Amino acid sequence: MAVNISEYFRSAPAPAAAPEKITEVTLTAEQVEQLGRELDELRQRIVADLGQSDRDYIYGIIGAQRKLEFAGRAMMFAPFIPPVWLAGVASLGLAKILDNMEIGHNVMHGQYDWMREDTYNSREFDWDNVVPGEQWKHSHNYLHHTFTNIVGEDRDVGYGILRMDRDQKWNPYFLGNLGYATALMLLFEWGVMLHDLEAENVIAGRRKWSDIKGLLRGMWRKASRQVAKDYVIWPALTGPFFVSTLVGNAGANLIRNLWAFSIIFCGHFPTGAQTFAAEDCQNETRGEWYLRQMLGSANIDGTPLFHIMSGNLSHQIEHHLFPDVPANRYPEMAVEVRELCHKYGLPYNTGSLRGQLGSTWKKIAKLSLPNWMTRDDNDLVVNIERSGSATEAA
């Protein structure tokens, strides 16, 4: 049957008007706590529903990761056929992304502890990465997820080397912001490994050798094993193809670093992601903590496959609200979180990967300059009534 295209377009619904930009929101203390109760109820419903399908999901991802790694390692034996070798590098890079993001990151958050498995739990699991799991859980699970986007307390705001907020005091060092960010992106696993050292405090004399020697021993043990595996043992197993396999493994690590940096920075630093002052977050209630997570995070739109490859950190808002809930549940939770944002007049920061990444790099560039030379793009203000008075939260 012929289709009249002009009739189709005449009958198609008009595109929805762009939502009005939110510039100021005022919530009463009771509204904030009601929001917290509704988010608690959402979490309880999902946790009560966890079961075999969630177990099947994570084991399905583990199976796919192992197949990709096997295929990548096998194709390293054919460097004399460049397309095959390149496919091997890509396959191994994808395997490392899955291992680090949808498996490692989420398992070490305790998302699958309820299964009581011997290997895939937050106590036992270790990932294909130079970062010691125990140190990462301290700097990420505890510090970052507890003090999210609190300037001076959440060290993920700038990772100790970048200026990522206008409230960070500017000095000429930050003129190199773009260069530092590029280096961090290329060497992301190493930057994350060194994160817990607080190198800037060591240099400034605020942290002593005795404070970090235990951390350094842990880093040496983990990184030396990882380097030996990637750059000695696996290349040696390919015999005469040692050099090409070493280069391929380095390429796979680079793929993983570029992807992980991009996804993580898009979830925390695009325009609209809020930061907070320590004094405004003292004695936080549960509802206020939830609100800070919502305002300080950002999502990335994409397909189901994209969400899997991002470790579902493309649902960064939901991850910060519910860090110990299996990430495969975030897409369905996102529907209700977005509705709650609409109900309370709050923004729901989401956009394409291209848009969020462009916004993030633009911010990195702008914050390399002193405040008087640039405009503040974060013009949202959220006021919370606390103890009978309104407090500016963001």
Report whether 81 contacts 106 (CB < 8 A): no
Report whether 136 contacts 295 (CB < 8 A): no
Enumerate the H helices of the chain as residue ranges.
5-11, 29-49, 52-75, 82-97, 106-108, 133-136, 145-146, 177-186, 188-195, 199-203, 209-228, 234-237, 242-266, 286-295, 304-309, 316-321, 330-343, 353-366
Q: How confident is the model at residue 315 (pLDDT cuts 50, 70, 90)?
A: very high
Average the pLDDT over 313-322 and give the result: 97
pLDDT, residue 197, reads 82
Q: How confident is the model at residue 80 (pLDDT cuts 50, 70, 90)?
A: very high
The CA distances from residue 150 to 13, 144, 168, 169, 293, in Å, are 43, 9, 11, 15, 11
pLDDT, residue 21, reads 57
Please determine, for residue 153, whether its predicted confidence score (pLDDT) is greater than 70.
yes
Average the pLDDT over 24-36 and give the result: 91
pLDDT, residue 23, reads 72
pLDDT, residue 391, reads 54
Give CB contacts under 8 A, 24+ apart, made by 277-285: 277/150, 277/151, 277/167, 278/150, 278/151, 278/152, 278/153, 280/391, 280/392, 280/393, 281/147, 281/150, 285/32, 285/33, 285/36
pLDDT, residue 393, reads 54
Q: Whole-number mean pLDDT of the chain?
A: 89
pLDDT, residue 278, reads 86
Please determine, for residue 18, whether its predicted confidence score (pLDDT) is greater than 50.
no
First to last CA, the chain: 57
Find tokens 């009739």 and name the residue.
7
Average the pLDDT over 263-292 and give the result: 91
Average the pLDDT over 331-341 and give the result: 96
For 26, phi then psi, to 5°, come to: -125, 125
pLDDT, residue 267, reads 94
Report whether 316 contacts 367 (CB < 8 A): no
pLDDT, residue 375, reads 85
Q: Which residue has the higher pLDDT, 288 or 3?
A: 288
pLDDT tens per residue, range 189-248: 999 998 888 877 777 777 787 788 889 999 999 999 999 999 999 999 999 999 999 999
Average the pLDDT over 286-310 and give the result: 95
Average the pLDDT over 131-152 and give the result: 90
The CA distances from residue 382 to 19, 151, 153, 319, 392, in Å, are 18, 17, 21, 21, 6
Determine the Cα–Cα distance for residues 351 and 306; give it in Å rounded to an integer.
13
For 45, phi then psi, to 5°, come to: -65, -45
Determine the Cα–Cα distance for residues 168 and 177; give it in Å rounded to an integer.
13
pLDDT, residue 205, reads 74
pLDDT, residue 17, reads 42
Q: DSSP string spanning 222-273?
A: HHHHHHHIIIIIHHHHTGGGHHHHHHHHHHHHHHHHHHHHHHHHHTTSSTT-
Q: How confident is the model at residue 102 (pLDDT cuts 50, 70, 90)?
A: very high
Residues whose CB is less than 8 angstroms from the CB of residue 152 and which lie 6 or more positions away in sequence, other chains included: 278
The CA distances from residue 381 to 27, 145, 178, in Å, are 11, 22, 28
Least confident of 5-9, 15-19, 86-90, 189-193: 5-9
Three-class secondary structure of residue 13 per DSSP: coil
pLDDT tens per residue, range 106-141: 999 999 999 998 889 999 999 999 999 889 998 899
pLDDT, residue 22, reads 58
Q: Which residue has the higher pLDDT, 141 or 387?
A: 141
